[in-house]
């Protein structure tokens, strides 16, 4: 089931050229994430079955597949957000640096701090200012940067999310007053501010214009150095541009979602082993 790590990187094609990233303070180190035989139920209905996937540290893994096949569900299992939904159950293990995040000694809050998430729909805190939104994750864990340290952090995170130039004069306005695309980038800045070792992104660009999309894609490449990125996308070009590895999810008529094929992005797009993969990535169904 598990792919050999090291096979793909050699053949890996460099993604679209990225402007030299500003030197970033490396505080975290990326962690590898492994899903091992993960299944999920909603109110007794099996929606994903025995999904195993290794998300290598410091790489970008893209999850692709048609609507409703369980990508978001899988992503939420990776940072213990699945259990928040009433009636949701799961099976299997998720290993973060070899440790099962569902183990009895693991606290969900700690896990979620290390595995940050950007949701499909933008959800900034409407009662907080733009700045407070960025700092919210730190505040929740009891840290309150002050003065210049705070300003620098806010600027760095907003710049990475490609939002700083647009909002630098509006840091004190409420998060809910930004446009939908700006809100999504604010959510990305907010997730990055806690300096997670894994970042899960659920269709982060579905509400964004091409230039913001490009900025987010650049950010994904930049932060991959220190953060493992898992991104769900419906955009095949985007998957090709940003990801090192790809996994295709499919669900049958009444069957739960499974991974049909996984491998290096290059293989999935240029040399798929499964016919369904080649159909999907060439837009012949789904």
Ligand X SMILES: Nc1ncnc2c1ncn2[C@@H]1O[C@H](COP(=O)(O)OP(=O)(O)OP(=O)(O)O)[C@@H](O)[C@H]1O
Candidates 66-74, 99-107, 177-185, 263-271; binding stretch for ligand X (CB under 6 A) = 66-74
Instruction: Lay out the sheet containing 99-100: strands in order across.
Output: 99-100, 88-96, 33-42, 45-55, 257-264, 245-251, 60-64, 228-232, 198-202, 115-118
Candidates 64-72, 93-101, 113-121, 226-234; binding stretch for another protein (CB under 8 A) = 113-121
φ and ψ of 14, to 5 deg? -65, 135
Asked if 73 touches Mg ion (CB under 5 A), the answer is no
Asked if 72 touches Mg ion (CB under 5 A), the answer is yes
Residue among 31 and 264 whose Cβ is closer to another protein: 31
**Owner of token pair 């159909």:** 279
Candidates 17-25, 63-71, 93-101, 136-144; binding stretch for another protein (CB under 8 A) = 136-144
73's contact among ligand X, another protein, Mg ion, none, with CB below 5 to 8 A by partner kind, is ligand X
Asked if 174 touches another protein (CB under 8 A), the answer is yes
Candidates 20-28, 57-65, 110-118, 252-260; binding stretch for another protein (CB under 8 A) = 110-118
Q: How many CA atoms lie within 13 A of 252 on its CB side?
A: 5
CB of 72 to Mg ion, least distance (A): 3
Instruction: Kindly tell me the burial class for residue 273, based on how many C-beta atoms sit within 10 Å of its own C-beta (0-12, 13-18, 19 or more).
Output: exposed
Query: Would you call 186 helix, strand, or coil by DSSP?
Result: helix
Each residue 81-120 as x (binds ligand X by CB under 6 A) or -, in order, gives ----x----------------------------------x
Question: CB of 35 within 8 A of CB of 203?
Answer: no
3-state helix, strand, coil in the chain (%, to 5): 35, 25, 40
Residue among 72 and 212 whose Cβ is closer to another protein: 72
Question: CB of 5 within 8 A of CB of 56?
Answer: yes
One residue of 31, 61, 72, 238 binding ligand X per CB under 6 A: 72
């Amino acid at each position: 089931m598990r792919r050999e790590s090291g096979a793909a990187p050699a053949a890996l094609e460099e993604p679209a050229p990225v402007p030299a990233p500003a030197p970033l303070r490396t505080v975290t180190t990326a962690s590898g994430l492994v899903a091992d035989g993960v299944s999920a139920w909603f109110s007794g209905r099996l929606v994903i079955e025995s999904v195993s996937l290794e998300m290598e540290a410091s790489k970008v893994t893209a999850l692709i597949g048609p609507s409703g096949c369980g990508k978001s569900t899988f992503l939420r299992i990776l940072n213990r957000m699945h259990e928040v939904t009433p009636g949701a159950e799961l099976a299997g293990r998720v290993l973060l640096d070899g440790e099962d995040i569902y183990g009895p000694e693991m606290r969900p809050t700690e896990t979620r701090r290390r595995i940050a998430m950007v949701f499909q729909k933008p959800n900034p805190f409407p009662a907080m200012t733009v700045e407070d939104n960025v700092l919210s994750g730190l505040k929740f864990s009891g840290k309150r940067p002050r003065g210049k340290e705070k300003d620098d952090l806010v600027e760095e995170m907003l710049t990475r999310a490609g939002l700083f130039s647009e909002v630098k004069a509006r840091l004190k306005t409420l998060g809910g007053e930004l446009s939908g695309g700006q809100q999504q980038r604010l959510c990305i800045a907010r997730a990055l501010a806690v300096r997670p070792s894994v970042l899960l992104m659920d269709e982060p660009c579905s509400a964004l214009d091409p230039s913001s999309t490009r900025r987010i894609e650049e950010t994904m490449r930049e932060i991959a150095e220190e953060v493992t990125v898992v991104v769900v996308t419906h955009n095949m070009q985007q998957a090709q541009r940003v990801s090192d590895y790809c996994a295709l999810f499919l669900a049958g008529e009444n069957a739960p979602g499974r991974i049909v094929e996984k491998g290096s992005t290059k293989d999935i797009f240029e040399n798929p082993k499964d016919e369904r993969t080649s159909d999907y990535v060439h837009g012949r169904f789904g």
